[in-house]
């Protein structure tokens, strides 16, 4: 749908992704949201330098870890014109305590929940929401146990308290991601409309 409307789509394979071996995946252990952040940003810089994308008109979206990265990127860089995080993690503390993936959080952050100076706090988008100026449409499923809907809700609330433009959509019958009709149609229409509205 986005391609048909003239958008270019950049699908990076940052460190931590599968498909390039175990070592490539393990490069994010203990550094989740660290160097991988710059894999995304340097890719965007390259596309801009090559004249392949408009430096003033691009957005970001992703689901699950991509939802975390979407939320995280807009707290770290102001260049994005619109964002659509889907099933995101926005607070590693609540993700650890309330999701069915506490073991994943502990493994990949390689930190301790009680460490107030550690990555549980410093790498949580919610605690950086005051920096965001990107219009953000957060999408979640009410039945999601991997990234519970409270993850999207708390980021949305933090953004609105900072006067950023934010909309939260929770699908009552969806779990991790939007996978069923008619919710898929509604989600797709909302995402495209959000980018059209804010990117022109």
Catalytic residue numbers, as ranges = 64, 176
Burial status of residue 1 (CB atoms within 10 A of its CB: 0-12, 13-18, 19 or more) = exposed
Torsions phi, psi of 184, nearest 5? -60, -40
Evaluate whether 155 touches 176 at the Cβ level (below 8 Å). Answer: no
Cα–Cα distance measured from residue 79 to residue 64, given in angstroms and rounded to the nearest whole number: 22
Cα separations (Å) of 156 from 50, 81, 106?
A: 34, 17, 25
Q: Taking the CA atoms of the chain, what radius of gyration do you get in angstroms?
A: 16
Evaluate whether 147 touches 89 at the Cβ level (below 8 Å). Answer: yes
Count Cβ atoms below 10 Å from residue 188 Cβ, excluding itself: 13
Evaluate whether 119 touches 131 at the Cβ level (below 8 Å). Answer: no
Which helix (H) or strand (E) element contains residue 171? strand 166-171
């Amino acid at each position: 749908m986005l391609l048909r409307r003239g958008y270019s789509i950049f699908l990076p394979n940052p460190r931590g992704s599968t498909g390039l071996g175990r070592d490539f995946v393990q490069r994010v252990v203990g550094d989740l949201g660290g160097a991988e952040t710059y894999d995304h940003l340097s890719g965007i810089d390259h596309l801009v330098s090559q004249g392949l994308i408009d430096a003033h008109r691009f957005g970001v979206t992703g689901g699950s870890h991509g939802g975390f990265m979407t939320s995280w990127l807009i707290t770290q860089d102001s260049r994005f014109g619109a964002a659509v995080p889907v099933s995101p993690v926005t607070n590693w503390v609540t993700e650890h305590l309330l999701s069915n993936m506490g073991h994943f959080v502990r493994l990949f952050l390689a930190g301790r929940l009680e460490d107030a100076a550690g990555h549980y706090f410093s790498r949580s988008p919610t605690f950086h929401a005051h920096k965001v100026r990107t219009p953000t449409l957060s999408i979640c499923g009410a039945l999601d146990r991997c990234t519970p809907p409270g993850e999207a809700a708390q980021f949305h609330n933090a953004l609105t308290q900072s006067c950023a433009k934010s909309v939260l959509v929770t699908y009552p019958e969806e779990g991790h991601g939007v996978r069923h009709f008619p919710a898929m149609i509604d989600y797709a229409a909302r995402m495209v409309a959000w980018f059209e509205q804010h990117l022109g």
